[in-house]
Amino acid sequence: MLAFLRDANTSGSVIRIINAIDRVLGAKAFNKLFPVILTDNGSEFSNPKEIEYRDTVPCLRTKVFYCDPSSPYQKGSCEVNHELIRRILPKGSSFDDLTQEDIFLMMNHINSYKRKKLNNRSPYDAFSFYYGEDLLKKLGCSPVASENIILKPKLLKK
């Protein structure tokens, strides 16, 4: 799972991040990794055409689909990651002093946490097996050794 700080909860902020990921990965890798994007009906996803089409060359890069209202189970794996994020950033936590580097650190710990559902592999290991570590590095992802994983607020204490 990737996570990004945004300056505002707008469709423009999401589109800028999608465009940045597209540029970092390149069209071929982006198309392979993101043939579809499944999201909720939040206002930040209210401009699907700008997400679906490249800003540089007007060609389809992905398809956006929406979950049914009040149906978080339709994105079950995301919900598990949200629970892990809340272990580190409990509800009500301020994001004001966080940097994107903090968010990368948090996600590196979460993505290195082994899951029974992945045959006791981490999401990092599973992704690396299928797609290679080069794409992970491009996305700012790094593995964290099992004994160093912290899923508590102290991970981001400065």
Q: Return the structure tokens found at 104.
A: 């990368």
Which SS3 state, helix, strand or coil, does residue 136 take? helix
Q: What percent of the chain has pLDDT over 70?
A: 100
Q: What angle do CA 116, 77, 43 make, to 5 degrees?
A: 165
Q: How far apart are CA 123 and CA 140, in angstroms?
A: 15
For residue 74, what pLDDT is reported?
Answer: 83
Q: Specify the pTM.
A: 0.91
C-beta separation of 51 from 13 below 8 A: no
- pLDDT in the model for residue 13: 96
63 backbone dihedrals φ, ψ, rounded to 5°: -125, 135
* Tokens, residue 61: 């890069």
pLDDT, tens only, 101-145? 999 999 999 999 999 999 999 999 999 999 999 999 999 999 999
